[in-house]
Copies of this chain bind each other. A is one copy, B any other.
Amino acid sequence: MAKAPIITPQAEDFPRWYQDVLNKAELADNGPVRGTMVIRPYAYAIWERMVAEVDRRIKEAGAENAYFPLFIPESYLQREAEHVEGFSPELAVVTHGGGKDLEEPVVVRPTSETVIGEYMSKWIQSYRDLPLLLNQWANVVRWELRPRLFLRTSEFLWQEGHCAHASQHDAAVYAERILRDVYEDFMVNELAIPVFTGRKIPQERFAGALNTLTCEAMMRDGKALQMGTSHELGQNFARAFDIGYQDENGGRQLCWTTSWGVSTRMMGGLIMSHGDDRGLAVPPRIAATQVVVILVKDDDQGSAGDAARRIGAELTEAGIRVRVDDQASTPFGRRATDWELKGVPVRVEVGPRDLADGQVVLVRRDSGEKTPVDIAALSVTAANMLVTIQDAMLDAATQRRDSATVDVMTVAEAADAAATGYARIPFDRLGESGIEELGRTAVTVRCLQTADGGLPSTDDAPGTVALVARSY
């Protein structure tokens, strides 16, 4: 009797494959309140690495971390018209606190432009205080009617940058810097996920923004995922919260603000960009466990187990993030499959027979390739293999994305191509009617680019192309 597959094959039912990976690799559970999420330790350790790597880049971009309150007076949101309209349907409202009904209900932050705007207004006096570059790591709440773990949850974890600049030019430059030096660099070089960067069309912008820049990735089912956004808010929030400064001539000026964020949604992107029918596959640079040393079976003296633990210690010493699985009472095959399911990039198999030859076997998660290696050369070989895997995973993901991206000239062709990936179409060929037509089959404009893949400065610049796709 054939064993039932551990997880549903992607080709059979991709959403179910995703759910199976979440369950079987012990990544996340549904919370008790609709739409909320429990992030389990194995996934949280990967998220911690994401946080560390994004945070490092944010600090290099000059922003400082701070923390603003979870609760925002309802009246704050109402000060920016588009903002309140955009977020009202998703708000969670606290009406009761400390045993009493509250005089003014407070909302649980869906994002913090408004409350941070209030403090920027206090803290900024002169042009010398600019730019003010702030970031916070926090949880936010946007009530979700159709939740999906990591992708759309009522509560999620994220960072939100909030900055005030002296001029529109400064704001635009910084919004793009964050997009490129923080988000794109992180996604490509750490997550091994290629992204299209571009400009959102007005109907897809952040509520209250003049311009939203985005990183769009492609999942293995051919659907796009918005992985991170960077917004030019113009003077909308500066006006609403009176964020102003005295310029060098003593005149009063209004600031130009930006905001930008990435979230636990990136975990969903990681899973669906690299995962396959054997489960999750984590790129080495972001993996909390890069190498698992598995004791195949022990010998009577327990010397194979000792060797496995010693090898684990040596690899750790070499700067590799290692776990040792010496639970030889559980069948080897089951454990190997389990670590594959969890997507650990390299497996080191340690068994009495190979040890007798002074060898262990390295197995790559991405390609399945097995390599016997002399123990003396293990640390160097493993470290090199991690670099190779990182590159190979980015290459493979880029190839998948590019081969599923088709240049088209008509709306009908775009709809066709978007069934399996991205269609790239001249924006003036699409037009408002084309956007509407595609929308009927849930195909949307993911972003606009210049002909050479750059960022268009306006929506209607000549030569602008639109990338359209189905999306999460």
Residues of A within 8 A of B (CB): 29, 31-33, 36-41, 44-45, 47-48, 64-73, 76, 88-99, 105-106, 108, 115, 118-119, 122, 134, 138-139, 141, 143-145, 154-155, 157
For the complex formed by this chain, how many copies does it contain in all?
Answer: 2
Known A-B contacts A99-B89, A119-B38; the reply to A45 vs B73 at CB < 8 A is no
| Residue of A73, A89, A92 with most partner-chain B CB within 10 A | A92
B89 touches A108 (CB 8 A): no
B98 touches A96 (CB 8 A): no
B73 touches A32 (CB 8 A): yes
Cα of A115 to Cα of B396 in the assembled complex, Å = 40
Which residues of B are found within 8 Å of A66, using beta-carbon distances? 38-41, 44
State how many angstroms separate the Cβ of A338 from the closest Cβ of chain B. 15
Which residues of B are found within 8 Å of A71, using beta-carbon distances? 31, 33, 36, 92, 141, 154-155
The 9 closest A-B pairs by CB, nearest first: A98-B143, A36-B69, A41-B64, A31-B69, A93-B96, A39-B67, A33-B71, A97-B143, A92-B97
Which residues of B are found within 8 Å of A98, using beta-carbon distances? 89-92, 143-145
Q: A41-B65, A45-B65, A139-B139 are in contact. List 17 more A-B contacts (CB 8 A).
A: A29-B119, A33-B69, A33-B73, A37-B67, A38-B69, A40-B66, A41-B64, A44-B64, A44-B66, A70-B141, A88-B99, A89-B98, A91-B96, A91-B97, A93-B94, A94-B108, A138-B139
Cα of A437 to Cα of B70 in the assembled complex, Å = 40
A76 touches B32 (CB 8 A): yes
A115 touches B67 (CB 8 A): no
Which B residue sits closest to A39, measured CB to CB?
Answer: B67
Which B residue sits closest to A36, measured CB to CB?
Answer: B69
Cα of A423 to Cα of B45 in the assembled complex, Å = 45
B72 touches A32 (CB 8 A): yes
Cα of A70 to Cα of B98 in the assembled complex, Å = 17
| Residue of A33, A64, A65 with most partner-chain B CB within 10 A | A33
Which residues of B are found within 8 Å of A134, using beta-carbon distances? 41
Cα of A90 to Cα of B96 in the assembled complex, Å = 10
Known A-B contacts A65-B44, A66-B39, A97-B143; the reply to A115 vs B73 at CB < 8 A is no
Task: Identify 22 residue pairs between A and B in the complex whose beta-carbon atoms are under 8 Å apart, listed by A's number.
Answer: A31-B68, A31-B69, A31-B71, A32-B76, A33-B72, A33-B106, A37-B69, A38-B66, A38-B68, A38-B69, A38-B119, A41-B65, A41-B134, A44-B67, A70-B139, A70-B141, A71-B92, A89-B98, A92-B96, A97-B143, A97-B154, A98-B143
Which residues of B are found within 8 Å of A38, using beta-carbon distances? 66-69, 119
| Residue of A65, A66, A144 with most partner-chain B CB within 10 A | A66
Which residues of B are found within 8 Å of A73, using beta-carbon distances? 32-33
Which residues of B are found within 8 Å of A72, using beta-carbon distances? 32-33
Which B residue sits closest to A119, measured CB to CB?
Answer: B38
State how many angstroms separate the Cβ of A372 from the closest Cβ of chain B. 32
Which residues of B are found within 8 Å of A145, using beta-carbon distances? 98
Which residues of B are found within 8 Å of A29, using beta-carbon distances? 119, 122
B36 touches A70 (CB 8 A): yes
| Residue of A37, A64, A76, A89 with most partner-chain B CB within 10 A | A64
Which B residue sits closest to A30, measured CB to CB?
Answer: B69
